[in-house]
Chains A and B, each alone.
Chain A
Amino acid sequence: MVSFVCRRLFGVVPTLLVIVTLSFFLMRLAPGGPFDTQRRLPPEIQRNIAAAYDLDKPLYQQYFIYLDRLVHFDLGPSYRTKDFTVSELIADGLPVSARLGLSAMAIALLFGISLGTLAALRQNSATDYSLMSLAMCGITIPSFVTAPVLMLMFGVWGVRFLGYDISLPVGGWNNGAFANLVLPVTVLALPEIAIVARLVRGSVVEVLRSNYIRTARAKGLPEHLIVLRHALPPALLPLVSYLGPAFATILTGSLVVERIFAIPGIGRYFVEGAINRDYTLVLGVVIFYAAFILLLNLAADILYAVLDPRVRYQ
């Protein structure tokens, strides 16, 4: 077990190296640089700036300088946001993005699992069909459509519900106040709920047909025990290996959601950085996300191996 974890951890390193190398050289292919301005600077000043950021050295040397810094967990200074290092910028946005993403994930799992199980228990009934059609909507309607529609409904028009006027802020973060969280988290969670529900429905349907469920029925166990104790645990196993990709989707989705709702998270830095040619910032965010996803995939694999004794550690 320990050697399995260690080997997988070492496997992460070359992958990360490929990602760093690929994104480093890709960024440099781009025409234009971070310090191009409307008015041309005097050549001496340009040289000074280039020297300060090592941009005057040959590209391969810059690459090794970057690697050296990276090994020391230093992502370098941001080229465009003066006086900030990339690590500071990421640390600044991380709590916001993490809060948004984790809330969305929790809600997606909660609703996805319960709706998927419900659909599977009522397989081929009207409930099943309507839930699965809804899930299809969730998958096909992109978040940049649901976001403005929800903003219009709950933010601009306001909705009366149980005698309360519900009116939610349509943007801003406000230190993560609950009201500010509701809309972006919903938008981010909707497609994920749909995917999880489809996944869970499929595997619950399969498990419910298996022999040990028939045995449990034959023993006369009450239905809720059969579902909760015998059917759900094995049925949720495939979900574990989906956790990695799920987080990747949520990160991608947060690029759009953070932009629409003007939320100061990491996703915003990335798009702005790419457009401004802020090499270090974009690289930093890509590497951060990649490392995060890699570790998450690793954690999911380990969890899977722990939960399912049939998986051998190879």
Chain B
Amino acid sequence: MGAASDTTAIDRAFDVPGRSLWIDARRRLTANKAAVSGMAILAIVTLAAIFAPLLSPYSYDATDYGVISCAPDWWPGSIIACRAGGQHWFGTDAVGRDLFVRVLYGARVSLAVGLIATLVSLVLGVGYGALAGFVGRRCDELMMRFVDVLYSLPYIFLVIVLMVIFNRNFYLMFVAIGAVEWLTMARIVRGETLSIRHKEFIEAARAAGVGRFATIGRHVIPNVVSPVVVYVTLTVPNVILAESFLSFLGLGIQEPLTSWGVLISQGADQMGSAPWLLLFPSLFMAATLFSFNFIGDGLRDALDPKDR
């Protein structure tokens, strides 16, 4: 073993590209079949929702009294009252609107509610939690006590009150649901922040004269990302469920716009005579929620391999 070969060995060792946490995590995630199929389903649903007007000749609010509650052509059974014909792949609803287009438009609303409300909860929760955890002591105690108080509110009741008061305002619903979901996020981020608060790199930042908020933004938050990412993917399905719950009670999206919750509750009314009206929205919603949950579980396993 000469000195020269040692250096080349070391050089070679340095030539191997480093593997960051994220590269490792991505590898583990792509190896997880459930998570990958979840992502595929989600991508398909999202694309279909975005390009909904191009996929079908029908408009989401055009009624056709010739085909009221008609089954799609391929629907089995002989006692079906009528066949929708044409390009009504999922049949038609009680006022003759095309169900396929309405399911996709419902996807637009449901996914938008899911994403925007989650974003609201993300911004609120991460900011609040990181601040509480980083500042610590009395401030932390006070801030988390406030979260505890909000936590014990029967929140869905407050959302219902809000929706009634502000007359089913579309945007308010995003905010109301998001403002409720940020609590858990704040708790998670605060706990993580507490645990890294006294690590050396934070001390180094302080020694180098980095300001408090800059430290939180540049050093604390990037290091709490992985539990946050996992929780975000699990929040989206919760939010979608909450929206559909409100819609079911008649407090959500108003006609002619629609969401999966609205479609499902309308489908449930006609389930005996026109089961497809319940089946397709439920299938889409269940598939989407499944996907988010699988991705969330996959991410958790990928980012935190010790729990496997």
Contacts and interface: CB of A to CB of B under 8 A. Distances in A.
B290 A145 contact: no
Contacts of A297: 152
A224 to B, nearest CB: 28
Contacts of B265: 144
A140 B293 contact: yes
B256 interface: no
Contacts of B152: 15, 19, 290, 293-294, 297
A28 to B, nearest CB: 9
Interface string A11-41: 0001100110011001101110000000000
Interface stretch (A67-75, A97-105, A270-278): A270-278
B112 interface: no
B161 A26 contact: yes
A181 interface: no
Contact of A145 (B154, B161, B166, B282): B282
A248 B293 contact: no
Interface string A172-189: 000000000000000000
A149 B277 CA distance: 12
Interface in B280-308: 282, 285-286, 289-290, 293
Given A140-B293, A144-B264, A148-B268, A252 B154 contact: yes
Given A15-B149, A270-B157, A290-B154, A256 B248 contact: yes
Contact of A26 (B162, B237, B245, B285): B162
A205 B137 CA distance: 36
B165 interface: yes
A171 to B, nearest CB: 13
B241 interface: yes
A30 B166 CA distance: 7
A139 interface: yes
B278 A274 contact: no
A31 B271 CA distance: 36
Most buried by A among B154, B156, B237, B272: B154
Please report whether the interface of chain B is mostly helix, strand, loop or mixed according to DSSP.
helix
A246 interface: no
Contacts of B244: 142, 144
A156 B245 contact: no
Interface string B72-106: 00000000000000000000000000000000000
Most buried by A among B148, B248, B293: B248
Contacts of A136: 290, 293
B180 to A, nearest CB: 12
B249 interface: yes
Interface stretch (A85-93, A281-289, A302-310): A281-289
B154 A142 contact: no
A255 interface: yes
A286 B289 contact: no
B10 interface: no
B245 A274 contact: no
A242 B156 CA distance: 18
A152 interface: yes
Given A142-B245, A259-B249, A23 B286 contact: no
B153 interface: yes
B278 A289 contact: no
A251 B160 contact: no
B161 A27 contact: yes
B154 A148 contact: no
Contacts of B166: 30
Contacts of B153: 19, 22, 290
A141 interface: yes
Contacts of A141: 282, 286
A286 B154 contact: yes
A271 B160 contact: yes
A139 B238 CA distance: 10
Given A136-B293, A144-B265, A289-B157, A30 B271 contact: no
B230 to A, nearest CB: 15
Contacts of A14: 149
12 contacts: A15-B148, A22-B153, A29-B165, A144-B264, A145-B268, A148-B271, A148-B278, A271-B249, A277-B164, A289-B157, A293-B152, A293-B154
Interface of B: 148-149, 152-154, 156-158, 160-162, 164-167, 237, 241, 244-245, 248-249, 261, 264-265, 268, 271-272, 278, 282, 285-286, 289-290, 293
Which 4 pairs between the two chains have the least Cβ-Cβ distance? A140-B289, A30-B165, A148-B268, A274-B164
Given A149-B271, A286-B157, 10 more contacts: A14-B149, A142-B248, A144-B245, A145-B264, A148-B271, A248-B154, A252-B154, A256-B245, A256-B248, A274-B164
